[in-house]
Structure 1
Amino acid sequence: MKAIIYTDNGGPEVLRLADRDTPEPGPGEVRVRVAVSGVNPTDWKTRAGATNPKQFPVVTPHLDGAGVIDATGPGVDPGRAGQRVWVFMAAAGRPTGTAAEYTVVPANRAIPLPDNADFDLGATLGVPALTAHRALTVAEDGPSRLAPGALDGKVVLAAGGAGAVGHAAIQLARWAGATVISTISGPEKARLATAAGAHHVVNYREGDPVAAIRAIAPDGVDIVAEVALGANLALDLAVLRNRGTIATYANDGGKTVELDVRQNMTINTRYQFLVLYTVGEQALTAGAEDVSAAVADGALPVGEEHGLPLIRFPLGDTAGAHVAVENGAVGKVLVSVSEDAR
């Protein structure tokens, strides 16, 4: 099979297209013929060695993707062969990511793809949608699962609504019944966040964004899904309601945050830091089930008209896909792997 591999951490130039043996699924595993691989910031950071040292002599990158199960290992229902699936966390602690014609994953990492969803949509789920789900389900008095009506009466602030996680947070929050506000940095990103389903967009670089958000939510925001905690903390605290939650999945622009203890005590701020690698199986399973339900309801569409442009690269130019993500491409970067898996 054709696969992208790297044997040393480094820049995108360490990625190369190679012929590899087609992997066989072991106990509890399935093999997926990959149609589309999704690229996330964590993929290039892992390749670069920015998070942890490389764990295996040869690594095929990428956590997310979509395709068709073509083989099952012992202990897995053989009837799953031929099933269309979306895949998440494929390369987490494993050498076989989705940037290959075939990948092997635990059976519970290959989730049936609803009939109304194509492989492009399936490959955009994974990290962004599961991260957004976690951010929306950690509030003290909020739901632990998402479904229509679960967030009725709640106000969600999705920071960076034009990003992949922000886009998923907007869509999932709206599907669950929340009023959704998104902060953006300009007219084009405002257009994307609105297309994703945000009820309100606020440019944090213009005017008085605190006043604008408070005009929409006089009692404050219930949940903030935050991508840049250090940069946005003052705004978040100024609009957060008493006992509100700031769920942060990144700190774009900085690694440290300084907290005013008394200020946070006064409003009983709840902070939830999250990363999928260590979030636990219960949260991942709940997220996968709820995300699939949202997809089946047509609540997570992608593409330019839905606020998430798709940027495509061939498998042989996976390095270019990594460069695009690292340089902050607006939209979702996808790698087309196998046309005949579609």
Structure 2
Amino acid sequence: MKAIVHREHGTPDVLRFVDRDPPEPGPGEVRVRIAVSGVNPTDWQARSGAGHPRPFPELVPHHDGAGTVDAVGEGVDRSRVGQRVWLFMAAAGRPTGTAAEFTVLPADQAVPLPDAAGFDLGASLGVPALTAHRALTVAEDGPRRLAPGALDGRTVLAAGGAGAVGHAVIQLARWAGATVVSTVSGPEKARLATAAGAHHVVDYRRGDPAAAIRAAAPDGVDLVAEVALGANLALDLAVLRTRGTISTYANDGGAPVELDVLRSMVLNARLQFLVLYLAGPEARAAAVHDVAAAVRDGALPVGEEHGLPLHRFPLARTADAHRAVEGRAVGKVLVDVTA
């Protein structure tokens, strides 16, 4: 099979296009013929060695993807062979990610993909959608599960609504009934956030963004899904309602976090940090179930017309796909593996 591997940490130049024998599924595993592989920031960070150990001498990168179950291991229902699936956390603690024609992973990490949903959508779920679900379900006064009506009467602020996670936050929050406000850095990203379904879009670089958000949410925002905590914390606290939650999954830009402790205390605010891989099995299982339901409802479409432009690369050019993600390409970067 054709595969991308790396044997050392470094720049995208450490990625190699190679031939390997297809892996065999072990007990409780499935083998998936990958159609499309999704690339996330965590993938290039793992390749570069930023806080990621190397537990294996050779690694196939990428956590997310979509394809068709090709074989099953002992203990897995053989009727799954031929099933279309989307994958998550394929490379978490394993050497076989999705940047290859075949991968193996635990059967519960290969989630059935409805016939109406394309492989592009399947490969765009995983890290972004499951992270978005976690961000939306950690509020003290909020739901632990998402479904239509779960966020009725609540206002969600999706910071960076043109990003992959921000896009999923908008879509999942709207599917669950929230009023969605999104902050963006310019008119083109505003167009994308609106296409994703945001009810209100605020350019945080112009005018008084706190006043604009308060105009959309006079009683304050119930929950903020934050991508750049250091840069945005003051704005978040300015628009947060009492007992509101700031759920942060990144600190884009790396600005230091300066916390106004007294203001946070008076608000009885909750500041929740999250990393998908350490969220715990129950939280991840709930996220997978709810995201799969949203996919069945048609609530998570991708593509520029839905607010998430797709940038495609063939498998042999996976290094260029990594460069695109590192260069902060707006939208979702995908690698076409097989037809």
**In 1, distance between residues paired with 2:256 and 2:230?**
7
1:255 is displaced (CA, Å) by 6.2
* Structure 2 counterpart SS, 1:329: coil
Displacement of 1:257 in angstroms is 1.4
The whole-number CA distance in structure 2 between the counterparts of 1:244 and 1:107 is 37
- Corresponding residue for residue 53 of structure 1: 53
Q: Find the aligned partners of 1:115 and 1:222 in 2 and give their Cα distance.
A: 36
Aligned residues: 339
Q: Which residue of 2 aligns with 1:104?
A: 104
Spell out the pairing of 1:119-134 with structure 2 (5 A cutoff): 119-134=119-134
Determine if contact 1:162/1:192 at 8 Å carries over to the other structure.
Answer: yes
The 8 Å contact of residues 115 and 296 in structure 1, kept in 2 or not, is answered as no
Partner of 2:229: 229
Give the match for residue 219 of structure 1.
219
Question: How many angstroms apart in 2 are the aligned matches of 1:137 and 1:317?
Answer: 37
Q: Which residue of 1 aligns with 2:157?
A: 157
Structure 2 CA distance for aligned equivalents of residues 110 and 281 of structure 1 = 15
Partner secondary structure for residue 105 of structure 2: strand
Paired letter, 1:160: G
Counterpart position of 2:316: 316
Task: Give the Cα separation in 1 of the matches to 2:278 and 2:255.
Answer: 19
- Superposed, 1:161-176 pairs within 5 Å as 161-176=161-176
Alignment-mate amino acid for residue 147 of structure 2:
A
Within 5 Å, which residues of 2 pair with 1:71-90?
71-90=71-90
Question: Residue in 1 aligned with 2:65?
Answer: 65
Deviation string 1:16-64 (CA, Å, 9 cap, x unpaired) is 1001111000011000000000000000000000022211100000000
Q: Shift of residue 247 of structure 1?
A: 0.4
Letter of the structure 1 residue corresponding to residue 71 of structure 2:
A
Distance (whole Å) between structure 1 residues aligned to residue 144 and residue 334 of structure 2: 30
Task: Return the alpha-carbon distance in structure 2 between the equivalents of residues 127 and 53 of structure 1.
Answer: 19
CA drift at 1:262: 1.1
Question: 1:258 Cα deviation (Å)?
Answer: 2.0
Task: Provide Cα deviations, 1:195-215, integer angstroms capped at 9, x if missing partner.
Answer: 000000000000000000111
Aligned-partner Cα distance in 2 for 1:45–1:232: 23
Alpha-carbon contact 1:114-1:292 (below 8 Å) kept: no
Q: Aligned partners of 1:255, 1:112: CA distance in 2, in Å?
A: 40
Instruction: Provide the rounded CA distance (Å) in 1 between the counterparts of 2:178 and 2:253.
Output: 28
Is the partner of 1:291 in helix, strand or coil? helix
SS of equivalent residue, structure 1 residue 30: strand
- TM-superposed CA distance for 1:256, in Å, is 3.7
Q: Which runs of 4+ in 1 moved over 6 A?
A: none
User: Any gaps of 5 or more consecutive residues in structure 2?
Assistant: none
In the other structure, the counterpart of 2:195 is 195
Distance 1:54 1:256 in 2: 28
Q: What CA distance in whole angstroms lies between the structure 2 residues aligned with 1:114 and 1:141?
A: 33
Deviations 1:63-96 (A, max 9, x none): 0000000100111111111100000000000000
CA–CA distance in 2 between the matches of 1:300 and 1:246?
23
Query: Where in structure 2 are the equivalents of 1:27-42 lying within 5 Å?
Result: 27-42=27-42
Q: Deviations over 1:88-124 (max 9, x none)?
A: 0000000000000000010110000012100000000
| SS of the residue 1:43 aligns to | helix
> What is the CA–CA distance in structure 2 between the aligned matches of 1:52 and 1:329, rounded to whole Å?
23
C-alpha distance in structure 1 between counterparts of 2:319 and 2:183, whole Å: 31
**For 2:168 and 2:115, how far apart are their aligned partners in 1?**
20
Equivalent residue, structure 1, for 2:146: 146
AA aligned opposite 2:335: V
CA RMSD of aligned residues (A): 0.7
Q: Distance in 2 between matches of 1:9 and 1:184?
A: 33
- Give deviations 1:158-179, integer Å, cap 9, x for gaps: 0000000000000000000000
1:115 — aligned with what? 115
Give the TM-score normalised by the residue count of structure 2. Answer: 0.99
**Aligned partners of 1:181, 1:261: CA distance in 2, in Å?**
25
User: Which structure 1 residue ranges, 5 or more long, are not aligned?
Assistant: none
Larger mean CA deviation between 171-180 and 268-277 belongs to 268-277
Aligned-partner residue type, residue 309 of structure 1: P
SS of alignment partner, residue 180 of structure 1: strand
Whether contact under 8 Å (2:128, 2:165) holds in the other structure is: yes
